[in-house]
Structures are given as structure tokens and as C-alpha cells.
Amino acid sequence: LNYNSNSKLLEVPGCSEDVEMNIQQINKLTQDLVAENNPNFTPQPHDDSTSMIKKLFESGLKNLQQQKMAEALKSINLAIEMAQRKRAPWEAFAVQLQELQFMLKNRVDLSLIQGKFMDGLQDLDFLQNTGLNSSDVFIRKTDALMKLKQYELARSEVERGLSLDPTNIKLKSLHIENSRRLAEYNG
Amino acid sequence: QSYDYDEGSETWPFFMLAVLCVILVPLTIMQLWEALAGGEKDRSSQHQQHVLGDLSERYTGNDVRTFRAKYAAKKSKWLAKRNLVIIAGWTIVAYLVQHIGSNDAIKDAATLLFDPYALLDISASSTDREIRSAYRKLSIKFHPDKLAKDLKPEERSVLEEQYVMITKAYKALTDEITRENYLKYGHPDGPQATSHGIALPKFLVDSSASLVMIVGYIALLGFILPFFVSRWWSKTQSMTKKGIHVKSASYFSDRLFNFKPSQVVTTQLMIRWISHSEEFKLMFPALAPNIFETLLHDHINRKHSGNLQTTKFRIVAKSHILLFGLLDIATTFRNLEISNAAIDTLKALVQAIPLSPYSQILQLPNVDAKRFVEGSVDDIRTLGKLFTYDDAKIGKILGIEDATQLQETLTVASNIPYLKLIRAEFKVPGESVITPLSTPHISLKVLVRSAKHKFFSPNMIPDEMCQDEQDFDSLRDPFASVSEQPKLPQSFAPYFPAKRSGCWCALVVLQKDGKVIQTPMLIDRLSFANLSQDFDKRTVKDLDKDFNPENWAVGTIKIPFSQPAPEEKGDYFFRVIIKSTEYFGPDLDFTVSMAVRE
Amino acid sequence: NQALKRRFQAILLRKEVYSEQW
């Protein structure tokens, strides 16, 4: 482990990818700490970055109202990039997670409306991986998978969705629709 | 202190004889059994004969054939070695028997043995009357007063001696006390002088040879024994119960433990992991993991690896057991994504086809991949879809000109075993519902069907065909009925270096958190009888007329449930994934609900 | 937070891998 004094970074030459990842995390943390000029910072989210993110997001929603989907998607992406960059690693995780999930949920709808099914699918995967198991995530995910012709995956998604929410009408109709597509897919 | 060793060498031959017989008799029986029954054991074993096996042999390339031949040869040599031991053993036995026979010291020792029946030369099971009459006859003959006068004194003494023995024998059989003695000590006069000694031949213990003995002992105890014990110990220590090397298992566990959700699981990743296995390092110390990785990818893309061809075959054959080990560890870490990827990687290695939407089609023989992918008019990704066209059209789609080749391809395609789920439920033997904290198992009724068969809904199979016999032993051990089904036949895998019959892996996933809850259960017994049915989807028009459930064999799969049913009542949903390790396509993935009731 | 960021970044990688695989 050696410390590069002018770039103020740690490095471990020739280490495994896990160690490399930990080193990057430490470097990121120290860089942000060094860059932080307010001495008594708190884990509460930085309010000016919050307002910036909010403004960008609002403009996205405005575009949405004006039916300008592409711009809406772009400004939501900007808002997310802003959150990714501006937020310091010590700002409350719960807040950052919620914020990111909220923005992604909107981004998913925008992607699906514009036919970017793979983008929507990966965002939905991310939401599921970070613990969001609500029925509408399953509905959107099943729909996206069907549009991508992955009927087997769609079936396991919709069945899981129904296991968690057996009475959901939308999921039921998707399940029937997907079974029909599957039968056709299998000749 | 002074042990008397076996002077006349009369005991150690028996000891040696006994030891040799203990080793030789079972070995010889086994050898004979192998030699006689061995052949038909391969032929008539439970493996059901199936057309795919023969076709697989036909399509096996030469380099795979030579590789198999070399590998198989090893076995027969080992057989010869065992024969050698047997022949040597029996010659020693023969020599010992001859030695015992010729050794008079043993003979007179044998006479020491008192056997009243022999003396009275009657059978051991004769009655008292016979004993008495025999005794009377003999005593008249041998009684001293009756002896002829002109006998020489020593003859006379022998005869008298004889007479005494006869009397003793008679007494041993009739008189209580002497019989008591005889039964207890083997001699009517009570306990004889028995000599205790060490059954070691004389030449071994006298001074000159004793040095050799000491050295022998030191060698045995000091080197030979420790050598074998350490070799055995290191071998057992180094293998896990799943048959993979401990270091490989710890590498896989480390990969799984440090697995990051940001990593994407692909077959490439699985191949990279098994390329770091200890087995490959032991087999080819000179090669680095990335070479193994390249070789495995060559195999999947059916690329020739030049002079590393044999190396490639050996690591591909070995990768089978490694992937099962990885699958086992992945299920222990409850990671469904990696478990699925491990099985998909195994399919890719078995069929030498990369994972792609068209794998089901490309795994068929004689398919012209390029023409198929470009040419296919509407997206054909499954064999089922392929069979909606007529044969000629299929030939065009797959790019197969030659009619016989097309015929063979269609035979393979229609004999790849697809599973169709008929019934799925949780069952507790002897109960009608799943009671809390009971030990349920998942009972599946499946139909092995061909991709060309017309599809029919599961409830066209009547319930009575899906009942398990409710007799006692099936309640006691519900899994017994499964083992009555025939073993899977040899799979169609002409590119795989070794012959294989494959299996299905059953994974059970909790729907709540999407994680695997138990280690995979391997299904290697199912009847493929249905595959011989024609029931072609292109010819069968209306089901009710042509469909007759009796013609279909319903297969049973029982998956033991690793934990007791939950305490509180309610509905619990589990996802069951049954993936074939051989072919792309015949996988099942469905949800079963467990209704826990009082 | 950094693990969350890494998982978010992985979305791009996953898109490539899956579109190529499918």
C-alpha cells in the first residue's frame, strides 16, 4: 500500500479487483472530505445540491406535461447524474436511495413510453435489486420482457409478482397474455 | 519368556492360507462376476436404449473418438493387474496346500486330534444303538485276550493302544463325565497339553534372518505404512464430498462471498471461475488459467485448439464435475442467478454451443448456423416452432441439403426430451393437507414429450394416472417409487469428450425473496417411452379423437423439501426450476404454492 | 452509497451484455 502525496491517493499495485474496489472507495471518500470546505458538515443531505436536483427534476416533469418526452428523459437523466456526482458518500444513504428510486421510477415510465425497453428493464432490475418489490415494478418488468421477446423470463417475473400480490388484475391479464405468446413461441 | 516358534512349521502355513483365502476368494468372485456379467451389465443396465445415444456415437468426431479410446484403455490395464494378483495368490495357495499335505509334522499333529466317530468309524450323526453295536464289533476284534498269540510285542502294543482308543471313543460318546470332558476339551482325558506359540516359521526368527525381519519391520512401519496413510489422507483431505478439490471449492466460495451485485453474471464469468480450479492446475501445472479459459471458449465455439486439443478434451470432461461443485456452492449461498448460469454453462459445454436465443436450434447436428440465422424468415427460436413447418421447409430453414442428414437431424430434434408439467403439488405422506411443521415434499407428474408432439392441456391426463400408490412402503419412503423409473439413456452430445447420460437439476426458490432455499436435486430417472410416439403436431388435427391418455407414460419427480413446513397457517409460494444439463430447451420453471392448514 | 453508485453504473454494462446476449 503506498500513498501518492501530490495526488493524495492510495494505491496497491497489482492487487485483486476486490482490494482495488476498496481502495477506490477510500480514495473517493478522502477526495470528497478534502474538497469539503464546510468544517462541521452533517450526514444530512446537502440542501443546495438537493434544490439543484429538484429543479432539474421539476423541469423534467414540466417537459412531461408538455408531452416533450425526449427532453423530459434528458433532464431526468441530468438530475440523476447530478445526484450521482454532487452527493457526498457520507450523506444519508436512506435519503439517497429514496431519491434515486423515485427518479428512476419516473425514468422507467419515460423509457417504456419511448420504446426503450432494455433501458426500462435494467432500471426495473435495479429497483428490484435495491428492494423495491411493488406490483407495478413486476407489471412494467413483465411488459418490458414481453416486448423484448423474453417470454420465459417474463413468465417467471409475472408469476413472482402474482405470488407477492395474488389478486392483482393487471398481473393476471399479463400472465394470460404471456402464456399465449409462449405457446406461440413454442409452436 | 522363550516363545517356542513354529518349529515344524505346522501352523504358519494355515495362517497364511487363511489370510490369502480371505483376500483371494472375494476378489476372484468379483473378477469372475465382472468378466461374465460385466459385459451385459453395461448393455442391460437400467439405462434405457435410446436412438439419441446411437446417433451421438455416429456423429462423434474422430479426435473425440481417439480421446475416448485412449481413456477407456486405461481401465482394461487395471483389470489385468487385478488378474495378476489373483493368479499369484492362487499359486501361493496351491504351494501352501501342497506343503501342508507333504509336511508329516502336521500329519501326526492331526492324529493328536481325538475324533471318536473316526475311531469307531461311524458317522457323526449315528444313534446310540449304532455306537454300541460298532463298539461291540470293534472291541471283539481288538480285545487283548482275543488277539492272536503269535503277534510281535510292538504289534501287540499298537493293537492294545488301538483298543484303548476305541474304549475311550466309546466312553466319550456314552459315559457322561468323559463326554463332558470331550465336549469341553476335545479329548476325554480332559484338557490336553496345548502348545502356544507364534505362528512364525523358524527361519524368520533365528538370529541370521532376524536382522532382515527388523529391517522389514522398520521399513513397513517407518516408511511404507506412513507413505500410504499420508497419500490416502492427503487425497481424502483434498477432495470435498461433491468430488471437487478443496482449493477449487474455497475459490468458488470466495468468488461467491465477494460477489458484487454490480457484476453481471454470464457464462463467460462461470468459465473464468472454473478456469482457476485446482484440478486444472494439477492436471496441467504448466498452463495458466487464461489458457484454460481460451480452451473452454474454443470448445464452446467448436474451434480446433491445435496441439492443445487433448488438453482441451481433458479439461472439458473435468469441467462437468467442477460446474456441479460450483452449482452446489452457489445454491448454498442461495444465489439463483449464478446457479442458473452454472447450468447454462454446462449445457454450452455439453453441446459445444454458445448461449444464444437460437441455441435450441443450433444444438441440432448438420445445421448451417450462418444460413439459419440470416435466413430464418420469422423468428424461430424453439424446436417446437420449427416443427410447425413441414420437413422440406425445415431443411431449407436449417440449410441442410442432404436428405439423410435432414432425416437424422429431424430424428435428433424429435427425440430431445422436453418436459411437460401435468401436476405439481406439495405433499405430506399420509396427510391430505400440509400441516404446520410437517415434512412435505414436492411431488411432480411430468410427461416427457417431443418438440414435434401436438400440445395438449395437462388436465387431459386423468387424475387416476397421476395418483401415487398409497400402499405402506410408498408412505414410509415416498421416493422409492421414483427409483423404479428407468435411468436416462445416453445423451446426444457428439462434441463432449466423454459419453454421458446427463440429468435434470431441480432448484427450489422462495418467491418472497427470489433466493434458492436448498441444494439442487438431480433427476436421472425418467421414462422416455413417449418419445417413440408419433403424434405429430402437423398431422394430429382434433385432440379428442386422436388423443388417448393411456398411450402416455406419466413420469414422477419428487423433490425432498429441505426444511419442515412453516409454523403458522397460510399460503407460501415457491418457484421450482428444473433445468436439463444436456440440452437447451427442456427446462421447466413454474410456481407451486404450499397451503399450510391445520 | 458508493456500492449503490457502482450498482447504478452497472446498469449500462448490463444493458450491453443482455442486448448482445438476446
Q: pLDDT confidence of B546, banded at 50, 70, 90?
A: confident
Average pLDDT for residues B373-398, to the nearest whole number?
Answer: 85
pLDDT at residue A128 tops 90: yes
Cα distance between residue B431 and residue B442, in whole Å: 14
Nearest-angstrom CA–CA distance, B426 and B565: 10
Fold of the domain built from segment(s) B416-598: Immunoglobulin-like (2.60.40)
Q: Which residues of C touch B263 (CB under 8 A)?
A: 10
3-state SS track over A147-175: HCCCHHHHHHHHHHHHHHCCCCHHHHHHH
The count of other CB atoms within 10 Å of the CB of residue A6 is 5
Is A49 part of a structural domain of the chain?
Answer: yes
Whether the per-residue pLDDT at B303 is higher than 60: the answer is yes
pLDDT value at B451 more than 80: yes
Strands B197-201 and B4-6: parallel
Q: How far apart are CA B160 and CA B147, in angstroms?
A: 9
- In a domain, residue A13? The reply is yes
pLDDT at res. B265: 94
- β-bridge mates for residue B442, sequence order: B426, B559
For the record, the C-alpha cell of B78 comes out as: 487395471
In this structure, what CATH number is given to the domain that contains residue A171? 1.25.40
Task: Give the other-Cβ count within 10 Å of A84's Cβ.
Answer: 16
Three-state secondary structure call for residue A122: helix
pLDDT at position A98: 93
3-state SS class at B109: helix
Q: Residue B8's pLDDT is what?
A: 63
Is the CB of residue B590 less than 8 Å from the CB of residue B566?
no
Q: Identify whether the C-beta of residue B596 lies closer than 8 Å to the C-beta of residue B570.
A: yes
A54 shares its domain with A91: yes
Residue B577 in grid coordinates: 426450476
pLDDT at B41: 47
How is chain B split into domains, by residue range?
Answer: 4-111, 115-185, 206-236, 416-598
pLDDT tens by residue, B211-247: 888 888 899 999 999 999 998 988 888 888 888 889 9
pLDDT attached to residue B6: 65
**DSSP state, residue B477:** -
Please say if the pLDDT value at position B269 is more than 90: yes
- Indicate whether B470 pLDDT > 90: no
- Closest chain B residue to the Cα of A18, Cα to Cα: B258
In a shared domain, residues A30 and A82: no
Residues with Cβ within 8 Å of A75's Cβ and at least 6 positions away in sequence, in order, are A56, A57, A59, A60, A63
**What average pLDDT does the segment B8-25 reach?**
82
List, for residues B349-379, the tens digit of each pLDDT value.
999 999 999 999 999 999 888 888 887 667 8
Alpha-carbon distances, residue B136 vs A172, B141, B166 (angstroms) = 104, 9, 10
Lowest mean pLDDT among A104-108, B21-25, B72-76: B72-76
User: Does the beta-carbon distance from A126 to C7 stay under 8 Å?
Assistant: yes
Side-chain half-sphere of B166: how many Cα atoms within 13 Å? 23
Tell me if A120 is assigned to some domain: no
- Residue A126 counted as domain residue: no
CATH code that applies to domain B115-185? 1.10.287.110
Section B449-474 average pLDDT: 84
Partner-chain contact B382 A187, CB within 8 Å? yes
Per-residue pLDDT, B348: 95
Selection from B314, B304, B310, B308 nearest residue B277 by Cα: B314
Decide if C17 and B262 are in contact by the 8 Å CB cutoff.
Answer: no
Question: What is the average per-residue pLDDT within B518-533?
Answer: 91
Could you list the beta-strand ranges (E) of B120-278. 197-201
State the pLDDT at residue B108: 67
* A10, A26 contact by CB (below 8 A): yes
Nearest to residue B42, comparing CAs of B495, B524, B489, B485?
Answer: B489
Grid cell 481433458 is found at B314
Answer yes or no: do B355 and C7 touch at CB < 8 A.
Answer: no
Q: Is residue A124 part of a domain?
A: no
The percentage of chain B sitting over the pLDDT mark of 90, rounded to a whole number, equals 39
Can you name the residues that pair with B577 across neighbouring β-strands? B507, B589
Q: Is B502 exposed, middle or buried (0-12, 13-18, 19+ CB in 10 A)?
A: buried
- pLDDT tens-digit series, residues A25-83: 999 998 888 888 888 888 888 888 888 889 989 998 888 888 888 889 999 999 999 89
- At B211 the pLDDT is 82
Inside any domain, residue A75: yes
The grid cell for C20 is: 448482445
CB-based contact (8 Å) between B481 and chain C?
Answer: no
Q: Which amino acid does the sequence have at B165? A: M
Please indicate whether, in this complex, the C-beta atoms of C11 and A126 are within 8 angstroms of each other.
Answer: yes
Question: For B43, how many CA atoms within 13 A lie in the half-sphere containing its CB?
Answer: 6
Report chain B's mean pLDDT, rounded to a whole number. 85
Mean pLDDT of B179-204: 71
- A147 and A186: one domain? yes
Which residue on chain C is closest to A96 by alpha carbon?
C1
**B120 compared with B231, residue with greater pLDDT:** B231
A46 and A20 inside one domain: no
Residues 264-283 of B with CB under 8 A from C: 264, 266
CB-CB contact of B523 with B414 (8 Å): no
**Measured distance between the N- and C-terminal CA atoms of chain B, rounded to whole angstroms:** 77
Q: Give dist(CA B454, CA B463) in Å, integer.
A: 21
Name the band, by pLDDT with cuts 50, 70 and 90, for residue B587: very high
CB B577 within 8 A of CB B520: no
Shared domain check, A104 and A61: yes
Q: What per-residue confidence (pLDDT) applies to B145?
A: 73
- What sections of A36-150 are H helices per DSSP? 47-65, 69-86, 93-113, 117-129, 135-147
| Partner A contacted by C2 (CB < 8 A) | yes
Q: Which residue has the higher pLDDT, B537 or B44?
A: B537
pLDDT at B98 over 80: yes
Q: Determine phi and psi for B569, rounding to 5 degrees.
A: -70, 165
pLDDT band at B44 (very low <50, low <70, confident <90, very high): very low
pLDDT of res. B103: 73
In this prediction, residue A121 has a pLDDT band, given cuts at 50, 70 and 90, of very high
On chain C, the residues whose CB falls within 8 A of the CB of B266 are 17, 21
Residue A50 and residue A28 share a domain: no
Q: Mean pLDDT lowest for which of A57-61, B60-64, B124-128? A: B124-128
Contact B419, B384 (CB under 8 A): no
For residues A131 and B47, what is the distance between their CA atoms, to the nearest angstrom?
A: 47
Query: Does residue B45 register a pLDDT over 60?
Result: no
Which percentage of chain B shows pLDDT scores above 70?
89
Residue A125 domain flag: no
**What is the tally of structural domains in chain A?**
3
CB atoms within 10 A of CB B175: 14
Query: Do residues B346 and B320 lie in contact, with contact meaning Cβ atoms separated by under 8 Å?
Result: yes
* Spatial distance between the Cα atoms of B582 and B320, rounded to a whole number of angstroms: 11
Check if B573 contacts A (Cβ < 8 Å).
yes
**What does the block give as the cell for B388?**
410447425
Cα distance between residue A5 and residue B86, in whole Å: 76
B115-185 and B416-598: same fold?
A: no
Q: Can you tell me the distance from the alpha carbon of B111 to that of A111, in angstroms, rounded to the nearest whole number?
A: 105
Taking 80 as the threshold, does the pLDDT of residue A149 lie above it?
A: yes
Do A55 and A95 share a structural domain? yes
**CATH number, position A48:** 1.20.58
| CA–CA dist B228, A71 (Å, integer) | 76
User: Which of B259, B262, B263, B373 best tests the C interface by mutation, with the highest count of C CBs <10 A?
Assistant: B262
**Quick one: what percent of chain A has pLDDT higher than 90?**
55
The pLDDT of B489-516, averaged and rounded, is 92
Other C-beta atoms lying within 10 Å of the C-beta of residue A155: 22
B515-516/B521-523 β-pairing: unpaired
> Chain B contact for A149, CB < 8 A?
yes
Residue partners of B55: CB distance under 8 A and separation at least 6: B365, B408, B411, B412, B492
Nearest residue, CB atoms, B262 vs list C10, C17, C22: C10
**pLDDT at residue B73 is higher than 70:** no
Question: Can you tell me which residue has the cell 436404449?
Answer: B49
H or E segment to which residue B586 belongs: none
Residues A30 and A70 placed together within one structural domain of the fold: no
Hey, is B371 helix, strand or coil? helix
pLDDT of residue B431: 85
Note whether C13 contacts A: Cβ–Cβ < 8 A: no
Chains that touch A (3 or more CB pairs under 8 A): B, C
> Residue A106 contacts by C-beta under 8 Å, 6 or more apart in sequence?
A57, A60, A61, A76
Note whether C11 contacts A: Cβ–Cβ < 8 A: yes
CB contact under 8 A, B511 and A155: no
Task: Give tens-digit pLDDT for B324-357.
Answer: 999 999 999 999 999 999 999 999 999 999 999 9
Domain extent at residue A182 = 133-187
